[in-house]
């Protein structure tokens, strides 16, 4: 029983939650990032980060995707739960769906000063590639 409580506590501490005053955390844009959808740059996109560097929020046209880089999972986020806030967006992981979307071919690699994450939606679906800048020590540059 105690192990379950500790696991639940660790799970909820890893995600940004709504503040006590009901305000959602603000995710900031990742500078110098690159997004490719089926090998081409989408017309409208952005990548946001929060304090935890292993989680990204990707805006792809009007769709938002939550990428858990540590677990290799992708969740579709209801766009109505995301609010523009200056250059960033307000969103709480409390609005995260319970199940990730089906993806295959998850690949994450560091190539010099860039971390590349690439995956396919479903078995034969579209591909999404995200490249984020890294510092010389290999940590994210955002």
Nearest by Cα to 16 from 99, 92, 98: 92
Q: State how far Cα 131 lies from the chain centre.
A: 12
Lowest-pLDDT range of 7-21, 77-91, 116-130: 7-21
Query: pLDDT digit string (tens) for 18-58?
Result: 454 568 999 999 999 999 999 999 999 999 999 877 899 99
Q: Are 50 and 27 in contact (CB under 8 A)?
A: yes
pLDDT reported for residue 21: 55
pLDDT at residue 138 tops 90: no
Integer angstrom CA distances of residue 122 from 57, 96, 106, 128, 132: 19, 20, 11, 12, 23
């Amino acid at each position: 029983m105690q192990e379950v409580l500790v696991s639940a506590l660790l799970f909820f501490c890893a995600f940004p939650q709504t503040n006590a005053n009901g305000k959602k955390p603000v995710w900031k844009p990742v500078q110098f990032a690159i997004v490719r959808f089926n090998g081409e740059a989408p017309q409208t996109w952005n990548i946001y980060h929060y304090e935890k560097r292993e989680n990204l929020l990707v805006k792809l046209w009007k769709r938002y995707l939550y990428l858990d880089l540590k677990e290799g999972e992708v969740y579709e986020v209801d766009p109505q739960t995301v609010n523009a806030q200056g250059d960033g967006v307000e969103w709480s992981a409390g609005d995260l769906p319970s199940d990730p979307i089906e993806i295959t071919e998850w690949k994450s690699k560091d190539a010099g000063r860039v971390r590349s994450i690439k995956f396919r939606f479903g078995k034969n679906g579209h591909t999404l590639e995200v490249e984020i800048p890294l510092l010389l020590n290999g940590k994210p540059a955002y």
